[in-house]
């Protein structure tokens, strides 16, 4: 059974492996800021890390920087569990909006976020080294 918990320093090796195998442009420095720094880090644990979400919070808008699930556990609802935990956390902290970027060509990722109430917004030309990004936003408070 998968549980969602706060990230720990001992998760680093496994989370780096997940990051490198699932993200087209992994950012080790970003992950380090979640493990040992100011970013929020939620880990899906099934006898060890199988996914994670990185979050940067501010007064009213939060940025979901990365959400990744190990390829061996994709399609099991773990990404949805991670996202729901992030959203629940943000509602308790008073955030009004959560934003994220996704590759413009990642239609599967777009559908995932749209299923979870995110709205597709502007396209950011050249945001990623490999191409453009789409901004997705979800309002947390009416």
What CATH number is associated with residue 61? 3.40.630.30
Encode pLDDT of 2-26 as tens digits: 999 999 999 999 999 999 999 988 8
Which residue range forms the structural domain that includes residue 91?
Answer: 3-139
Closest CA to 25 of 105, 136, 108: 105
What sign for the dihedral angle of Cα 70, 76, 80, 82?
A: negative
Number of domains into which the chain is organized = 1
pLDDT band at 142 (very low <50, low <70, confident <90, very high): low
User: Which two structure tokens, joined as six digits, stand for 64?
Assistant: 């979901």
- Average pLDDT on 106-134 reads 95
| Half-sphere exposure for 105 (CA within 13 Å, toward CB) | 7
């Amino acid at each position: 059974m998968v549980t969602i918990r706060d990230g720990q320093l001992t998760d680093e090796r496994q989370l780096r492996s997940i990051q490198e195998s699932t993200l087209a442009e992994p950012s080790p420095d970003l992950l380090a800021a979640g493990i040992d720094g100011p970013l929020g880090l939620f880990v899906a644990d099934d006898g060890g890390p199988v996914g994670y979400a990185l979050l940067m919070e501010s007064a009213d808008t939060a940025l979901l920087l990365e959400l990744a699930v190990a390829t061996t556990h994709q399609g099991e609802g773990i990404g949805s569990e991670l996202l729901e935990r992030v959203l629940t956390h943000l509602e308790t902290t008073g955030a009004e909006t959560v934003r994220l970027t996704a590759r413009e060509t990642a239609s599967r990722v777009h559908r995932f976020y749209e299923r979870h109430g995110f709205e597709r917004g502007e396209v950011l030309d050249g945001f990623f080294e490999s191409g453009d990004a789409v901004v997705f936003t979800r309002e947390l408070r009416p």
